[in-house]
Structure 1
Amino acid sequence: MLKNLHRKSLATAVALLLCGVATDGFAAAGSSPADLGASNPSQTVNVTLVLGLHNQASLEKYIYSTVTRGDPAFHRFLTTAQFADRYGASAAEISRVQAFLKQQGLSQVELLPNHLAIKVSGTIGQFNTAFHTAIHDYQSSDGTRFHRPNATPSMPAALSGTLVVASGLSSEARYRSHRVSALFPPQQGATAKALAKAAKPAAPACTGNPTATCTPGEFTVGDLANRYNINPLYKAGVNGKGSTIGIATLANFLPADAYSYWSTIGLGVKPNRITQVHVDGGGPLGSAAGSGETSLDVEQSGGVAPWANIIVYDAPNTDAGFFDVFNQAVSENKVDSLSVSWGSPEIFYFPQLNGGVDFTDELRAFHQVFLEAAAQGISMFATSGDSGAYDTVRGLGGLLTDPVPPPLTADAPGSDPFITTAGGTTVPFSFSFSGGPTASIAKESVWGWDYISHYFQTNFGVDITDEVFSSGGGGGVSVFWPVPLYQRFTSGIRVSEKKQTLLFPSDGINYTLPAKYQGRNEPDISLNADPESGYSFVSSLDGPGLLTFEGGTSFVAPQLNGISALLKQSTRGRVGLWNPQIYALQNIFRYGAFSPFNDIRAGDNWFYDGKSGYEPGAGIGTLNVTNLALFLSVF
């Protein structure tokens, strides 16, 4: 049986990997859909023209000053109007763009108040002419149809230096949520190979937070509070009151699910706290569309900060939707913190994986909005992914035993240096698979499912590595963004590895990543994310009642979002960009009983081992939230 699973085709490997794994919003970037020919030139589409920042170096310097205690600009965050005046496109630049639109017969729909984007409507034929490209229809192997340029669009010479990218020329769904279900939850019995079954251990006496279950796989936000020392803040009356949490997502959801979750676990929350904003018409609604992801984002962030308001921004799963959902949330400037649990491997933006079409300008477009968020004091959080150090595997498959193994890669937008990226751990728990002896994780570890593989090898002499590779907390080194200032003085920061190649001969892909690149390392902070030691949540579109044994870094990003809401209340103001602050605290105070951080020295994410200090498995480590609140109030 499993002894014969050492070698598999790519398709079989993907199928086995995703056995029991949620696949919300999945789009296999890098595959070769069928080209159906030129799109209907009279079809109307909406496109967002992203305008370039002014004085970006000065802006980045200002952002650091807003989170540096003692600096005259400390916590002097900007309004949207101030940001637009100092750093947005000038009136003359906007006028030139508007004149170009009129010349091309395109219609302006909206100029965003941050002066970073103009939403435009026109026909595909008009956009083909305006950007010297040819938009074609395509069909993927699952029958999904979409359109996208068949060559990199050219920015008009007259607008050189003003336009960054025209976002929306493609309608392809390119992003996925980072939510994962347990591979062997008790209620599923056996796996597809009828070999594994988990035995749920008896729950210990549960103390601390009244909503906690103390049962791995059925954890609530109360268990999170117990483990990461949030309860003292609750006892002091810190519950998120006066804070507004933002959720950026690519799927609509049912707000009743969130209220049901909070009620089911016995958590009192502020009534009528959820506001929905449907960007570009809003995201789709349904289990396959990823509505469960949005539900858990709201439930986790709002459960950690039960008295905070919540604004949910949802948009279609397209390049324009993903940019617009960030841009609108940040431009409105109503939220104090914003999290996103969708992304894709950073290298999926590179032209070598898109038939020569260069999407890296989209990374720069996101970056501008993240800079604006930081300047306005909005703390932002993203997931690091759930495919361990091999971020492409969850989407494309591949094994370490392949002639050319999958490359070490980082996830975007988490690789951006101006967003705080959430990694994943496994907390101590006991387990038994397929009637075997009970084993345990003795201390909190970097999350990687190789511990499941080791269990079967030790106890049954069978190798299931191919089935569990490479599920785990994402982490690695960006090969696009250089190492940021706050990581330059942190021990444990890595450079990109040598001989990392993504090879798909059938699709003409043979791309070798830059070696020894001094890039931004992710994640920054981690919390429990392993679904085997994971959480419950409610998504009525996925099933009735509490769904259990769920995890992924999708849980961690909104949990950090909720924690940021608590910090906003406890420090009496927006926290701003976390990263320069937390890295400085870790560099100075390290670890210990009074530190804001817990060192993660065990486990691995299939490449990066847990060790003292920073590592691209768990980042700085996990949080002692009450200590972090005290440090941010004093230092």
Structure 2
Amino acid sequence: MLAHLHRKTIAASLTLILAGFASTAFAGTAQPNIDMGVATSTQPVHVTLILKLHNQAALEQYIQQTVTQGSPNYHQFLSTSQFAGQYGATDAEIAKVQAYLQKQGLGSQVMANHMAIQTSGTLDQLGKAFQTSIHTYVSRSTGQSFHRPASVLVLPSALADTVAFASGLSNERKYLSHRLGAPAFAVSPKSLPLGPTTLSKTTSGNPTATGEPGEYTVGDVANFYNINPLYQHGITGKGSTVGIVTLSNFYPADAVTYWNDIGLATKPNRITQIHVDGGGAIDGGSGETSLDVEQSGGLAPFANVLVYDAPNSGNGFTDAFLRAVSDNKADSISTSWGLPEIFNFAALNVTGASDTDTSDAGDLQAFHQIFMEAAAQGQSVFVAAGDSGAYDTVRDLGLPGTAAGDYSAPLTVDSPASDPYATAAGGTTVPVTFYNAANVPVISITQENVWGWDYLQNYFNKVAPGEYDLFSTGGGGGVSVYWHQPLYQLLTQGIRTSEPKQSLVYIDPQAGPTTLLQLPSRFVGRNMPDLALNADPETGYIVISTYDGGLISGYGGTSFVAPQLNGISALLTQNSGHRIGFWNPQIYLLQDIFGSGTYSGFRDIRAGDNWFYYGTPGYDQGSGIGALNVANLAQFLKLGF
């Protein structure tokens, strides 16, 4: 089945989730991995302790005030030191943690935001420091070997109110980039050609556009979403900085080649690379980083670009975000990596010696604190919503019939896009006509749709029954079952609660079914995505990636949308003369008041689906509040609405 080509089975993640699981909303009862015993004790490891924020309720209020016109704190964004002083750990609290680490023979480094302390040592040292042993595990499904703690981490009770979470004691590779290539179909017709078509092909407006579905450029994005008026007024991102957080290094020359090849004039020497936690490896994720820089830097051609890359294991992802936010140099930040939200639900937490596991879903809480700091500092954060439609675990765990056994496909969303302080970037399909080998149109999409490949599935069910399984490729979206509905979605029409009877079930070929997680029904959760732009690989883009062989076409995924929003934010920053700050309260208010349409900043998406949620008038869980009219949005934001 085609869908199996796009998945990476990570049943190993379920073991991480279920260790020490004690949530009242969920119940875990199985561990589909093999425990190989205590890991090599002398192996070096880097660990980050996330410190609890102070005055979090006041911080939430302050963030809202920074984007509320009329507030004395409107656009009064904090510096990193101001954030540390008002909301970070105190000097006394930090000193206690450092003293304990020193007693264990461990050094430490405090982040400038006073939200994290980093330390390094051997697995034996850190295992003793956290009163656990570190074991080696092997995934039954992939054969992957990795280490992680065998039990919940424990610190002295005197530190339990300071340290929220420790990451880095597991080296399991888990996050996926949200980019996909268009599939090749080997049935009659031998392929599904994308042209010619009068519905999509147009290069008017932007000279760098191609007008060719599957070969679109940032110029086409400018045409789709009315960005060109900003360029015509000299708005190119000058004076602003975009940040990319990624889990793979790349070749900066890829981006320069892309911009040059499409004829785009850009600021020279504007890319700065920052390797975090020993990052810098060129690997299978390098194409992701290339496209992130090409898209964000292409839409804002005179903005500076900071690229923070870290290893795709342990605390790499959180550390890269910590660095990008603590540095506070980027006006906006995007990432195109994630994993299903439910894979985090019982990440290993630090507890006091006399306490029980609080199950604060470690990585989710770590990102939450980081994103709150970003919002307080005026840094806009955009995160890809995922490429598995409304069923986010499918791309990771696969479909029934895998060698490892079967998994159910509950309705789930992607993380960290589900965080209320991130702007979740969803996906659409722009108008296009598909022709068969006889040049007869067989599929015609006449308006921008929510992206879901069931429109292809329906076609192939007719011409080649049983040959292809495209479920559930599409733009991520749905309802978080961890984060409550944020205030900015309170008055938005179309917001939903979680669906009933959703559970993650593992069916062992020998032992039979085991329910791993029972998801809460009718949970009043954060809905996502927030916005959506073209992400369908069938109406996708060209990318320059040396790792992938140079020029490649037919690529898409919400991986493109997050950096595109990042670049657009840089344009809005220059146009407004200041950082835009946290997007969500501002765009939801605009949509609630002015709606969508010709004079709005948003274009409603009323067709298509992501295999469960349909494009409808107003907000929907496939496209959020819709696609952008960037020139209109720029005027609203400049006027202070």
Single out whichever of 165-174 and 223-232 deviates more from structure 2: 165-174
Deviation string, structure 1 residues 295-342 (Cα, Å, up to 9, x no partner): 000000000000000000000112311110000000010100000100
Aligned CA distance change for structure 1 residues 349 and 194 (closer, same or farther; 3 Å): farther
Single out whichever of 154-163 and 526-535 deviates more from structure 2: 154-163
Take 1:405 and 1:151, find their aligned partners in 2: how far apart are those partners? Answer: 27
The aligned counterpart of 1:4 is: none
The aligned counterpart of 1:486 is: 488
The aligned counterpart of 2:24 is: none
Aligned partners of 1:352 and 1:509 also within 8 Å: no
Take 1:486 and 1:586, find their aligned partners in 2: how far apart are those partners? Answer: 11
The alignment status of 1:384 with 2:390, answered yes or no, reads: no
The aligned counterpart of 1:315 is: 310
Shift of 1:359: 7.5
Shift of 1:208: 1.0
The aligned counterpart of 1:513 is: 519
The aligned counterpart of 2:452 is: 448
Residue among 339, 342, 345 paired with 2:334: 339
Aligned partners of 2:203 and 2:220 also within 8 Å: no
Shift of 1:361: 1.7
Equivalent residues in 2 for 1:279-428, closer than 5 Å:
279-286=276-283, 288=284, 290-351=285-346, 360-398=361-399, 405-428=408-431
Aligned CA distance change for structure 1 residues 205 and 163 (closer, same or farther; 3 Å): closer
Deviation string, structure 1 residues 559-612 (Cα, Å, up to 9, x no partner): 000000000000000000000000000000001210000000000000000000
Take 1:42 and 1:453, find their aligned partners in 2: how far apart are those partners? Answer: 51
Single out whichever of 199-208 and 598-607 deviates more from structure 2: 199-208
Equivalent residues in 2 for 1:488-507, closer than 5 Å:
488-506=490-508
Shift of 1:271: 0.4
Deviation string, structure 1 residues 150-181 (Cα, Å, up to 9, x no partner): 22222431201100111101111110000011
Aligned partners of 1:351 and 1:357 also within 8 Å: no
Shift of 1:107: 1.4
SS at match of 1:197: coil
Deviation string, structure 1 residues 485-533 (Cα, Å, up to 9, x no partner): 0001111001000000110032954321010000000100000000001
Shift of 1:39: 1.0
Shift of 1:44: 2.2
SS at match of 2:164: strand
Aligned partners of 1:424 and 1:530 also within 8 Å: yes
Take 1:33 and 1:538, find their aligned partners in 2: how far apart are those partners? Answer: 38
SS at match of 2:588: helix
Take 1:482 and 1:447, find their aligned partners in 2: how far apart are those partners? Answer: 26
Single out whichever of 261-270 and 75-84 deviates more from structure 2: 261-270
Aligned CA distance change for structure 1 residues 593 and 599 (closer, same or farther; 3 Å): same
The aligned counterpart of 1:149 is: 149
Aligned partners of 2:400 and 2:406 also within 8 Å: no
Take 2:8 and 2:211, find their aligned partners in 1: how far apart are those partners? Answer: 28
Aligned CA distance change for structure 1 residues 359 and 171 (closer, same or farther; 3 Å): farther
Shift of 1:453: 1.3
Deviation string, structure 1 residues 276-312 (Cα, Å, up to 9, x no partner): 00001115212x2x00000000000000000000000
The aligned counterpart of 1:187 is: none
Take 2:132 and 2:261, find their aligned partners in 1: how far apart are those partners? Answer: 53
The alignment status of 1:200 with 2:194, answered yes or no, reads: yes
Aligned partners of 1:244 and 1:335 also within 8 Å: yes
Shift of 1:274: 0.2
Shift of 1:353: 12
Equivalent residues in 2 for 1:260-275, closer than 5 Å:
260-275=257-272
Which AA in structure 2 matches 1:498? P
Which AA in structure 2 matches 1:346? E
Percent sequence identity over aligned pairs: 56
Aligned CA distance change for structure 1 residues 272 and 282 (closer, same or farther; 3 Å): same
The aligned counterpart of 1:594 is: 599
Take 1:147 and 1:619, find their aligned partners in 2: how far apart are those partners? Answer: 38
Structure 2 unaligned runs (5+)? 16-31, 350-356
Shift of 1:398: 2.7
Take 1:321 and 1:405, find their aligned partners in 2: how far apart are those partners? Answer: 29
Aligned partners of 1:431 and 1:440 also within 8 Å: yes
Which AA in structure 2 matches 1:526? A
Residue among 613, 620, 629 paired with 1:615: 620
Aligned CA distance change for structure 1 residues 142 and 511 (closer, same or farther; 3 Å): closer
Equivalent residues in 2 for 1:113-132, closer than 5 Å:
113-132=112-131
SS at match of 2:469: helix
Take 1:181 and 1:407, find their aligned partners in 2: how far apart are those partners? Answer: 24
The aligned counterpart of 1:477 is: 479
Take 1:560 and 1:474, find their aligned partners in 2: how far apart are those partners? Answer: 16
The aligned counterpart of 1:6 is: none
Aligned partners of 1:26 and 1:175 also within 8 Å: no
SS at match of 1:68: coil
Aligned CA distance change for structure 1 residues 334 and 27 (closer, same or farther; 3 Å): farther
The aligned counterpart of 1:8 is: none
The aligned counterpart of 1:528 is: 534
Aligned CA distance change for structure 1 residues 357 and 285 (closer, same or farther; 3 Å): farther
Shift of 1:255: 0.3
The alignment status of 1:246 with 2:251, answered yes or no, reads: no
SS at match of 2:290: helix
Aligned CA distance change for structure 1 residues 508 and 43 (closer, same or farther; 3 Å): farther
Aligned partners of 1:399 and 1:469 also within 8 Å: no
Shift of 1:145: 2.8
Take 1:525 and 1:260, find their aligned partners in 2: how far apart are those partners? Answer: 29
Take 1:549 and 1:514, find their aligned partners in 2: how far apart are those partners? Answer: 38
Shift of 1:403: 10
Shift of 1:406: 1.0
The aligned counterpart of 1:3 is: none
Aligned CA distance change for structure 1 residues 610 and 80 (closer, same or farther; 3 Å): same
Aligned partners of 1:381 and 1:560 also within 8 Å: yes
Take 1:178 and 1:231, find their aligned partners in 2: how far apart are those partners? Answer: 27
Which AA in structure 1 matches 2:521? A
Aligned partners of 1:24 and 1:177 also within 8 Å: no
Take 1:456 and 1:528, find their aligned partners in 2: how far apart are those partners? Answer: 23
Aligned partners of 2:137 and 2:146 also within 8 Å: yes
Single out whichever of 304-313 and 424-433 deviates more from structure 2: 424-433
Aligned CA distance change for structure 1 residues 357 and 374 (closer, same or farther; 3 Å): closer
SS at match of 1:118: strand
The aligned counterpart of 2:20 is: none
Take 1:208 and 1:74, find their aligned partners in 2: how far apart are those partners? Answer: 36
The aligned counterpart of 1:5 is: none
Aligned partners of 2:385 and 2:476 also within 8 Å: yes
Runs of 4+ in 1 over 4 A off after TM superposition: 23-28, 193-196, 356-359, 402-405, 433-436
Take 1:568 and 1:101, find their aligned partners in 2: how far apart are those partners? Answer: 42
Aligned CA distance change for structure 1 residues 87 and 490 (closer, same or farther; 3 Å): same
Take 1:310 and 1:24, find their aligned partners in 2: how far apart are those partners? Answer: 30
Take 1:298 and 1:403, find their aligned partners in 2: how far apart are those partners? Answer: 37
Shift of 1:540: 1.1
| TM-score relative to the length of structure 2 | 0.91
The alignment status of 1:136 with 2:135, answered yes or no, reads: yes
SS at match of 2:277: helix
- RMSD of Structure 2 on Structure 1 (CA): 2.2
Shift of 1:45: 1.4
Single out whichever of 245-254 and 356-365 deviates more from structure 2: 356-365
Which AA in structure 2 matches 1:518? V
The aligned counterpart of 1:30 is: 14
